[in-house]
Amino acid sequence: EVQLVESGGGLVQPGGSLRLSCAASGFNFNYFAMHWVRQAPGKGLEFVGSITTNGGSTYYADSVQGRLSISRDNPKNTLYLQMRSLRTEDTAVYYCVKGGSGTKWDLLEDWGQGTLVTVSS
């Protein structure tokens, strides 16, 4: 069974930094692209970014480009989201998402339960 467990969320001041982690299990982490999607309280879904299997390519939403960065540690089966220069509008639940197989690498197939990041003074 695929399990994705996010951690690292919490309260941070505007301009601050935070690093989210996602511990993956139940599948061969090395073989799947991974993604982050966020959801502001009471709002819809927003794509944050993606990382390919070996970390060689990353993709970001314009709203986070240059401030948020995705990385992965394949031997540790862990995905990361480094967040810098945080703004109040970054307040959201952040979901870790496993991609699909093969050409469906960008399919948002399996989701974690999310971790809440609150940016406030």
| Number of residues that make up the chain | 121
Say whether residue 106 binds other proteins (CB under 8 A).
yes
| Alpha-carbon span 90 to 99, nearest angstrom | 23
Question: Apex CA 21: angle with CA 17 and CA 8, to 5°?
Answer: 55
Which one of residues 5, 8, 23, 61 is an interface residue with other proteins (CB under 8 A)? Answer: 61
For residues 67-86, which are near other proteins according to CB under 8 A? Answer: none
Closest approach of other proteins to the CB of residue 106, in Å: 6
| Alpha-carbon span 84 to 23, nearest angstrom | 21
Q: What is the DSSP string of 33-59?
A: -EEEEEE-TTS-EEEEEEE-TTS--EE
Which one of residues 60, 79, 94, 117 is an interface residue with other proteins (CB under 8 A)? Answer: 60
Q: Which stretch binds other proteins (CB under 8 A): 7-15, 24-32, 54-62, 81-89?
A: 54-62
Q: Which residues of the shown chain bind other proteins in the complex (CB under 8 A)? A: 35, 37, 44-47, 49-50, 59-62, 95, 100, 104, 106-114
